[in-house]
Chains A and B, each alone.
Chain A
Amino acid sequence: MSDPKIDGLELKPGFKGMSEDTGSDQTMFKGVHWGKAMMWIFLLSDTFIFSCFLISYMKGRGSTLVDWPNASQVFGLHVFGVEVPLLLIAIMTFVLITSSGTMALAVKYGYEKNRKMCGWLILATAVGGLIFVGMQAFEWSKLISEGVRPWENPFGAPQFGSFFFMITGFHGTHVSIGVIFLFIYAYKTFAGHYDDSKRGWFTSMKGDYVEIEILGLYWHFVDLVWVFIFAFFYLW
């Protein structure tokens, strides 16, 4: 949400504005907080990492000599005597989307300087992330107890385990890091660090609610990656 006006200078919209921004011999991302631009660059590089996983996974899956395990059975759950396919994964998806929504609202209330609302919504996001990580831990232990290893599994192609643990593990690490930061930022919000421009712990930058948006970008990215994992790994 860049500011269309900087120092009274009207910025042009669209591609014309893009070429003027880029060729202005000044900062390129006009009206964008440097922290936000850096977070976007980081997320872009993170996209590359996950894309490398995706490439190797798609290629690996397509080229196995043994059939790939049937995901909807492997990740199915036995509930009340009924076999429900992909139940846990569906719940995890909904939990993550819920937390993504609360984060989006937290950013909105942050910009409105509504400290309490913003803090509670960040806390709700953190709890959602925590539930997600908990369910992932449950899923991992279930699969490990069923004999899934990175080098073999009882369901089909041996590559399944290595791709599963690598991709969901890397995503789970991202979620866990996000949860830690969400708790820290919830504390900082409640403590009013963004209202009275208190400086952070490792930075001379003055506290501002734009930090909530930067944190939100990271959290939405984690949700975004899950959208792709859900489609390519669980549904495919």
Chain B
Amino acid sequence: MSEIKEKEQSTTHKIGIYLWIWGLLFVLSFFSYMVDWYQFQGMLRWSLILVFMFAKAGLIMAFFMHLYWERYALVNVLLWPMTAIACFIFLMVAEFEYTVFTRLFYFVVGGQ
């Protein structure tokens, strides 16, 4: 009997943690909407958007998707490929100026 009880405790958590995360997600969403409301521009805007985005994504994955309580074997299998693809996105984004350049060069200047 005590063994069953122990097992149940390992798979459920107190309701408080879910409500906290839920509330935090609302607050973070509200803040990221405020970024647009007050029309922040430039680096401040990008950094705020990214900070709120990663905070929300992290909270959802860690607590709603239970990754915080999973074993590292599963967590690492999931997070490293995602890190790799984040690097890929960064590389491609870093290259867009070259694409603009070639477009301007061939479409507008004519490549002469």
Chain A residues at the B interface, C-beta cutoff of 8 Å:
1-5, 11, 13-15, 17-18, 21-22, 28-32, 37, 40, 44, 47-48, 51, 54-55, 58-59, 61-63, 65, 72, 85-86, 90, 93-94, 97, 100-101, 103-105, 108, 111-112, 213, 216-217, 220-221, 223-224, 227-228, 230-232, 234-236
Contacts and interface: CB of A to CB of B under 8 A. Distances in A.
Interface residues of B, number: 59
A40 B71 contact: no
Contacts of A21: 71-73
Secondary structure of the B side of the interface?
helix
A94 B26 contact: yes
25 contacts: A1-B66, A13-B71, A22-B73, A29-B71, A32-B71, A32-B74, A44-B82, A48-B81, A51-B85, A58-B92, A59-B96, A62-B99, A63-B99, A65-B103, A93-B29, A97-B25, A101-B18, A101-B64, A105-B15, A105-B18, A108-B13, A213-B66, A221-B65, A235-B36, A236-B49
Given A100-B64, A108-B12, A235-B35, A1 B69 contact: yes
B34 to A, nearest CB: 10
B104 to A, nearest CB: 7
A2 B89 contact: no
Main secondary structure of the interface of A (DSSP, over half): helix
Given A15-B72, A31-B71, A63-B99, A51 B88 contact: yes
Given A29-B73, A54-B89, 15 more contacts: A17-B72, A29-B74, A31-B71, A51-B85, A58-B93, A61-B96, A62-B97, A85-B36, A101-B64, A104-B64, A213-B66, A224-B57, A228-B57, A231-B53, A236-B46
A228 B82 CA distance: 13
Across the A-B interface, the 4 shortest Cβ-Cβ residue pairs: A62-B96, A18-B72, A63-B99, A231-B53
Contacts of A231: 32, 49-50, 52-53
A13 B10 CA distance: 14
A65 B104 contact: yes
Contact of B49 (A4, A94, A216, A235): A235
B53 A228 contact: yes
Nearest to A76: B36
Contacts of B76: 18
A84 to B, nearest CB: 9
A88 B17 CA distance: 29
Contacts of B108: 65
Interface in B24-47: 25-26, 29, 32-33, 35-37, 39, 45-46
Contacts of B2: none
